[in-house]
Amino acid sequence: MNLSALTLHEASKRLRSRELSSQELTEAVFQRISEAEEKVQSYLTLCKDSALEQAKRADALLKAGANLNPLLGIPIAVKDNFLTLGIKTTCASKILDDFIPPYDATVVKNIRAAGAVITGKTNLDEFAMGSSTENSAFFPTRNPWDATRVPGGSSGGSAAAVAADECIASLGTDTGGSIRQPAACCGIVGLKPTYGRVSRYGIIAFASSMDQVGPLTKNVEDCALVLQAIAGHDPRDSTSADKFVPTYAAALTSDIKALRLGIPKEYFTSGMQPEVANAVRQAISQLAQHGAIVEEISLPHTEYAVAVYYIVATAEASSNLARYDGMRYGYRAPARDLAESYMLSREAGFGTEVKRRIILGTYVLSAGYYDAYYLKAQKVRALIKRDFDEAFKTCDAIITPTAPTTAFKIGEKIQDPLQMYLSDLCTISVNLAGLPALSLPCGFDSQGLPVGIQMIGKHFDESTILNIAYAYEQSTKWHKQKPKL
């Protein structure tokens, strides 16, 4: 067996029993990268030398029997909007093309402390704005299942790297579906934790009231192990919740008898790919066979979610991206004066989609339009959250498709922003409400492309959705299928 194809918990078990060294595992992953990367293009920066040094240190700890964290010695890729000390962090934008951060993001510190080996920084849609990873300033990432198709976005590089065995697990961010949608497109597991569960300190901001860090992994158990390492309170992040962190792996019992699962009728829309709807409904039937109680529910304000999201998110992006002015760091264009420097630096440094969102956000925040757009969007956001609050009075979790279609062709939607935005139709409401949600594979379409099912939980109840996902995964083999690269 190719060592790079191991799951995290399998690799961890072998490392602890000394059947395998971290250096061997890391070498195998970089060998796989050399074979697959030209086709997939999931990485922006590779860190082979430092990774092998980290693997060497991990082996010393394993030999000493110290720090036997499940992540010790495991090669993990990191999305390129996480600050990494001494490693270039571009956010897939020309405006940060040569930026090297002076410190690590908290989650990067956490996985380093756990002994993980950082393989490199993965590609994304510029500033995490997109659903296909085509908006990267450098190159598009390709789906390992079909190189003519997108891997999803914005964490497309992180998802593709896991699916192609170019790392054992990876980290991404999710503002409107950017972990779950690429996880669905690439046939892997992706979790967006509750807003505040994982520190955002050192993550390059897009929309601060919705951004959240989470794992992308080969199966549910791995997802629980990575979440364990990154969850917890961080005083440096004012939105970080000081809440008890349970042992997530202990929740994986497969017992879902009498759990009440709500199926919102609004998520099975007429425009949904029939094969996606069928696969998800079959998965729901399987959960019922395991003893779960399935009932149809309504989330009536779902139809407004995309509009609300693209007002709130662009407004926050407009504010957050004002800091990229070419003065303190990042790209600076030659200019005759200060005003021209600002204009030319931002003109040359930002891509089309980022400019579109900054302009939209500035518009909805401007005098005369703030009340009509931004304030109204926040009120509807409260109604969307209330829909979930009402549903969770009778449900333990909510089950939906992750995306309305499987992975689409590269270039198919890039000229039509509205069609692209609808790719996140099933995921956006979760971010607006700050809830945890997980995507895992539940089948394939007739083209051999993975279909994802989404499980949405109550605030800070990642344990329940992990266990529901685990129960389903244990009775299927979708997660064991690999793309033939």
Structure tokens at 415: 């000229």
For position 204, what pLDDT does the model report?
Answer: 98
* pLDDT-based confidence at residue 328 (cuts at 50, 70, 90): confident
Residues 103-138 as b/e (b if ≥16 CB within 10 A, e otherwise) read ebbbbbbbbbebbbbbbbbbbbbbbbbbbbbbbbbe
Catalytic machinery residues: 79, 154, 178
Of the given ranges (73-82, 110-119, 387-396, 414-423), which has the lowest mean pLDDT?
414-423
The pLDDT of 55-62, averaged and rounded, is 96
* pLDDT-based confidence at residue 95 (cuts at 50, 70, 90): very high
- Cα(183)–Cα(177) distance, integer angstroms: 10
pLDDT digits over 384-414, tens only?
999 999 999 999 999 999 999 999 999 999 9
> Considering the domain boundaries, does residue 456 fall inside one?
yes
Threshold 0.85, pTM exceeds: yes
Structure tokens at 192: 């967006």
pLDDT digits over 371-380, tens only?
999 999 999 9
The pLDDT of 310-326, averaged and rounded, is 95
Q: How many CA atoms lie within 13 A of 389 on its CB side?
A: 9
Whether 1 shows a pLDDT value over 80: the answer reads no
- Asked whether the beta carbons of 99 and 119 are under 8 A apart, the reply is no
> Considering the domain boundaries, does residue 335 fall inside one?
no
The pLDDT of 66-83, averaged and rounded, is 94
> Considering the domain boundaries, does residue 212 fall inside one?
yes
**Number of domains forming the structure of the chain:** 1
Bridge partners of 297, per DSSP, are: 264
> Considering the domain boundaries, does residue 364 fall inside one?
no
How many CB atoms are located within 10 Å of the residue 409 CB?
A: 13
pLDDT digits over 198-257, tens only?
999 999 999 999 999 999 999 999 999 999 999 999 999 999 999 999 999 999 999 999
> Considering the domain boundaries, does residue 30 fall inside one?
yes
How many CB atoms are located within 10 Å of the residue 313 CB?
A: 26
- Cα(229)–Cα(268) distance, integer angstroms: 35
Alpha carbon 330 to its chain centroid, in Å, reads 25
> Considering the domain boundaries, does residue 353 fall inside one?
no
For position 473, what pLDDT does the model report?
Answer: 98
Tokens 């999803």 correspond to: 152
Structure tokens at 305: 């979610």
- Cα(45)–Cα(144) distance, integer angstroms: 19
Bridge partners of 117, per DSSP, are: 75
CATH for 222: 3.90.1300.10
* pLDDT-based confidence at residue 485 (cuts at 50, 70, 90): confident
Q: In what order do the strands lie in the sheet with 450-457?
A: 43-46, 117-122, 75-79, 169-174, 212-217, 189-192, 437-444, 450-457, 397-401, 260-264, 293-297
Structural domain harbouring 420 = 3-261+394-480
* pLDDT-based confidence at residue 45 (cuts at 50, 70, 90): very high
> Considering the domain boundaries, does residue 257 fall inside one?
yes
The pLDDT of 136-160, averaged and rounded, is 98
Whether 418 shows a pLDDT value over 90: the answer reads no
> Considering the domain boundaries, does residue 23 fall inside one?
yes
Of the given ranges (166-180, 265-279, 425-439), which has the lowest mean pLDDT?
265-279
The overall average pLDDT reported for the chain is 96
Characterise 117 by phi-psi region: left (phi > 0), alpha (psi -120 to 50), beta (else): beta
